[in-house]
Structure 1
Amino acid sequence: MGHPALSAPPWASGVQIFHRAWVKNMLKVFKKCPTLNSPAHGSINCSHPHGEFSFGSRCMTTCDEGFVLNGTAVTECTAMSNWSTDIPHCLAKKCPTLNSPAHGSIFCSHPHGEFSFGSRCTTTCDEGFVLNGTSSTECTSMGKWSTDIPPCLVKKCPTLNSPAHGSINCSHPHGEFSFGSRCTTTCDEGFVLNGTADTECTAMSNWSTDIPQCLARRCPTLSSPSHGSLVCSNPHREYSFASVCTSTCAEGFVLNGTAITECTPQGRWNRDIPHCLAERCPILTPPSHGTLDCSHSHGEFSFGSRCTSTCEDGFLLTGMADTECTSAGTWSTEIPACQARQCPLLAKSPQHGRMNCSHLNSPFSYGSQCDFKCNKGFWLKGTSAMMCNTSGYWNQDPPICQPVQCKAIRAFSSDLSMNCSHPLGNFSFSSECVFSCKDGFTLNGTAVILCSATGIWSDSLPSCTGMSIGTAMLLYTGAGTGIAVGILLLIGLTMLIMKQLKKTGNMITSDVPTWGERENPAFEF
């Protein structure tokens, strides 16, 4: 504007008339801008001084709760029939990245992006540990987690005390008398364990076995000599460590040796019972699956004779190997039996399989055989049969059941999205893959395929067809209808060629060998 004190030059009115005519013509040429749509998770608010989405229109973008703008909020329709800036995106607010607690793990769902608004995470603890807090937390619209990740605390077992005449030695990987603690009981000299030496604190907060007792070591039972007597003192229990026995003979018989014998810490008498000569004992026969070896100091099977039983390979004595003919004409102990050697018990069938056992002698002993089979959808890794040998060991480790493997798959097209779950391992039996297409594209095929028990996918890989509406809208400009139509025809031809290429390229592929090319299917990555 000119200064009020000055008069306008004579040509000023002509310039103003020309300017108004120019603006009017420009409004006719550049009248419209492309129609704007609200972004996902947001909205636009516009003012239109010269008509909807026309020159001078001004639009402001705002985002929903929990989302923030990624770009410029305000755009304006220019005289060139285009917007000054693109409509920005609304991105979900981010929360801090979460890490699994010690001895635990977290499982999260992310509807709007990893660790962002709406993400929900659940914490679980490893076996033997328990959550100390709330298991679930959620990323709020403020970009903060609703609760902290709780720690996993180790489970406790009752405190153990040493047994009488013994001691315990423990290791505590996670804290004193807690899950994983292992304790071993040992006895003082002259005492032996009555039970299992080792015990472990389980995930159920109890010990796998009770603390055993320490009992005085037993010595062989003694019998009075014929025409004599035997008197013993037993500070712990009969015929055990520290027991002292004294032999005496009746009139007419004399001791053949020292009268006093003592039970040592090794469970042996420090000397033999003396003889009062000489009484006969019954004839002995060897045990089944065994032999009998005897020595006769005063005649066959008479007072002083000693016999030792031994078993064939694969069998063990169930009692004392040695027996002695006493002065009373009886054997100090009965001939023991020969029992088949015991192999470690096979407590249960392999996971996802079955076990069937036959026992030639006693259960899980020498001669026992166990056969294994797998459930549908699994294959046996290892030999299908185990045998208990003469040494009391299984001839091999138990086999395991592995899930049947399907071919690995991947989506070659950028328009196709694939999300798979693998409960038993990557691309194996019961794996499930879900497919979806980008906006503007249509899924051509099955949306969900499953890995079957035979290692074959339930259907072939789908594809995506079509072109997004947004791509077509961007082709429209103010440069003229004829140019826009030409560009649309060119892009349409390109998309048709790409569609034909996708039909031939978007197939299930894998570097994993087929079932015929390997002895046993296994997980391959």
Structure 2
Amino acid sequence: MAYLVFLFLTVYGLALISCVQGWTYNYSPYNMTYDDAYKYCTEKYTSMVAIQNLIENEHLNNILPRNEAYYWIGIRKNKSTGKWTWVGTNKVLTKEAENWAKGEPNNLSNNKDEDCVEMYVKRPNDTGKWNDDPCSKKKVALCYTASCHSSSCNNHGECIENINNHTCNCYDGFYGEECEHVVTCPEINGTDHGSMTCSHVNGNFTYLSNCHFNCSDGYVLVGSENLSCTKDGDWGAHVPHCKEIQCKRPEVPLNGVIRCSNDSEILTDKSMCNFSCNDGFSLVGSTSVICMTPGQWTEEPPKCNAIQCKRPEEPENGVMDCSDNKEMLPYKSSCNFKCKEGFNLVGSPSTKCMSPYQWTEEPPRCEAIQCQHPEIPRNGTMQCSSNEEILHYNSSCIFTCNEGYTLVGSLKTKCIAPDHWTNEPPKCEVVQCSSLLAPTNGQVECQNGSKYNSKCTFSCAEGFKMVGSSDLQCQISGNWTSSVPTCQAVQCAPLVAPDNGEIKCQESSSYKSQCLFTCQQGFKLIGSSDLSCLSSGKWTSAAPKCEALKCEALTVPLMGKMNCTHLSGEFEYGSVCTFDCGYDLSLNGSSTIECDSSGRWSTEPPTCEVVKRPIISPTYITVGAVSASASLMSVAGLLLWLAKRFRKTAKKFTPSNSYQHLEAAGVYQNTNDSNGIA
């Protein structure tokens, strides 16, 4: 029942409020959390209610129906600043606008922070007052619709919301209910002998109109060059006017000269006068003046004063000589300065009085001559006459170099002026030997180039031997330990042609030389036919030999003789053998054969054959104590027996005794009977 009453009041209230023009209030038909209330108000209306004063607070308490949960209004605690802030405008709640119930805000919630604000409406106690409550609770959302909009007050004033209406707080220079009117100023018609330029923001000669004034040449503006229309409807100053510029001719300075742009006594705008002084006098003031304002020059005329200078002070440890002994020296007086021995003049040696109390140069100083220690040469040492950090005049230093380095420059230097020595510090340059070149047919490798203690190693190409030292070292004298070696070609021992042979060699017996061996006809080469000289100085092999070709060994033919002659060796090339057969034997073949160049006999060796004879009468053949009847053996059997017997003794016979041996054997043939043997 209570909900129906609330709904009726809500509908009635909405209908009632919606009829009012201006700032209107609205509220939701049901309870919701603070976040939902904010969303509801911003989507349907302007935002949640922002209460500006107590009158507005009382008005809301009067027109709103009672709700047990009360109403959410647009105030929430900012978590980052901890201050209560209007959510619609993001402005901090001021003390004047606070309407808290007694003891509030107190943040009594144990579970959540009471960061949102509700308004007690129709409450018996503290009615219309505020209370902080957790934002998660559900209450009626109290919203408003703004009366002010972008075109309110014609953009010339601040729109202020009121209950069911708004008012305009007009900016300076505007007035009216909606600030629709602008303040005007008296119209300006310009100025004589000049020009005026105006700009108008809100209309001709109205608030913020601005006018700028200029005068023609020869005239000066009297008054402000800029006027602006104020909010009070005036220009803030009188309108300026243009006045002709004129100046009276300046007086000529004593001991000086004046030259103006014309000779008139009265000079017009921008006329110029220049001043100068006679020789010996100095101009005090500006050298030129210009007529710029009525009757006034830019500067006062200058004066010409006699030029004098106060006598300079004599420098300590020095001497000063001036052209006059007075304390005040006249124009063009001069003074010269010198320093004592051991001191250096710092500044100009002379000065001259050319302007009042001003010398052309400041007096110099005499400073003791000192020198910084010279730089110690790298790889060297330095010995100075003093161990002090700063050396004085005439101090000297002597330089030496470390072993293996030579001094380039002066051995000694002397301090003769501030930080100026008679000689520059020398340098210690490493001892250098002459550069070495690789010998012909050789090469060289050096460590650290050709400086002191450097080593160079020489080597020869294959087939060449070194003559001299292979290792050279650069000595402190700048010379190498010995001269550069040479590479001479390797020589092999000369070769000699073998017996019965020939040799042909290329050039000499040096490295890679080749020798070709050949043998004469009938001889063969034993060994290599081609020898080369190696880098070791030896031939690839021993020299070959020529050996005679050998024929097959011969034996004395059966029942014959053989006589041989040999040129080289037994049965070798050139050997000649002759053959002969004994009594009643016939030679079958050539009687003379020769071992030819191919190692063969010219023909086959001959044989001895028995001559066939008839047998005269039966006889007995007696051989020693053996006898037999011719009827018991045949000629063939006898010959076979004799051959076997002869083979056993052939080597014991010589060609010279062959016939004697056969005769002793009593061998003969019966010509009458080929088979008869007696």
Q: Which has the higher contact order (CA 8 A, sep 6+)?
A: 1
Which structure has the bigger radius of gyration?
2
**TM value normalised by structure 1:** 0.39
**TM value normalised by structure 2:** 0.31
